[in-house]
Structure 1
Amino acid sequence: MSHTIGDYRLLSFDTYQDYLKSNTKTDAYKYLRNAKVVNQVVKLGYHTNVTIYEENQFYEIKEKLLEQMNPVSHHGLLFSSFMKGNDPALCALASREERNMQKKLSTIIFVQQRRRSGFDISGYIDYEDSLRASSLHLLGCTNWQAIFEGRILLRPKHTDLSYYDWHSGKIHYNNTNNYDVMHVGIALLFKYKGDHKYIPLISSDGLFRENVKRTAIASPMYGMMVLYDHIIRKAT
């Protein structure tokens, strides 16, 4: 039986027995009477269209789901623990990493880099989403350990919240696990999915400015990096 890593319904059950009971019709005990027999019938998939896992699969998949939801990089080490040097931009990111991973803070990074062609690219990056992808070693993820070590620079990607190629004029927008991209008139905003708060990118936007703290950081490595910090609140 294949393991369905995205089967989030398993998180609703504390034990394997609770999981089996949820897939058992109430009249099964009436006709079969023996709990062990009922469990065997449930495992065979009778009277249900969902996949029924063995006990070891249940706990294995549940553990992987919890790891995906709360990943810990390098078995407990933060990527910033590999930091070398004292670049202000990297120091600012390091100070925010743990709170982002704990979902206490959500930071959007604006960075602009010049390519070898001489033309710039810029973009807005969902920090926590990028850290999570790196923790899970997802295809195309950003190597945050190498960034904090100073071996490579943080560059926006086509898959980030926003990506702009100054030479071609092409722009890409993408929703992430944390944010939806919103266009209100000519303004670009990001809506945090957890508490539905709008994050404005212009500091003078009075309507939503209390939702975010905007910090511009001068950096020898990155020029000017801008961080948008949103304190996460539970949705009401």
Structure 2
Amino acid sequence: MENTNYQYEDVIQLDDQASSRRFIANVFMWMFVALGISALCAAAFAFKPELANLLRDPVTMRNTGLGTIVMFAPIAFVMIISFGLNKISAPVLTLLFVVFAALMGTSLSFVLLVYTSSSVLGVFITASAVFGIMAVAGYTTNQDLTKFGSLMIMGLIGMIIASVVNMFLASPGLSKAISYIGVAVFVGLTAYDVQKLKRIGAGLELGMADAKKMAIMGALTLYMDFINLFLSLLRIFGSRR
């Protein structure tokens, strides 16, 4: 999964730090809820045989039809959420976000079968520390990160194109390079997205329907930043079984 950057339009920016703090706190709360759901689903479908067998044939170890659907379902949900944002109510958007987190976690169960549990845990802690540092940096810096964010988005687009090309080339060297670029891109996007959300929060009155939807979309953006950072680091430092 790649990061999706959403455009928050028609938001009046006000210098209201209290409103911004409440909004950011709400965004991170939903992000942590999503990560918790994903972690539970990933562990359940990786280590419980009755659930794991629904996704992978126990004899051939190939994906079942459901396993293939689960791998691509999160992309479909991101598209539904992003394109239907203006038509979806806040409660429905929240439900879709929770289901997305569950599906994403289920698809990540495949990762737990490829890499050792100790390396996954180590990389997760590393990704959490890096993400936290960049989130704080993005929130506290007075430097405008708009141009920097544009460069990161260009890097993301280039990374996606390179990933598609490598699907045909299957080059280990290119795959490794994409992983290193991914770390740099998602580290940068974390700071940029947090700063953007801080500015958006300053212009929102918490409790409005739009504010709730913005918080969910912000949580989805940061969730994807973190997951992609984690996966990029795992490809570089993870120990395979």
Bin the TM-score by the shorter chain: under 0.3
State the TM-score, normalized to the length of structure 1.
Answer: 0.26
Q: Identify, as 1 or 2, the structure richer in helix.
A: 2
Query: Higher relative CO (CA 8 A, sep ≥ 6), structure 1 or 2?
Result: 2
State the TM-score, normalized to the length of structure 2.
Answer: 0.26
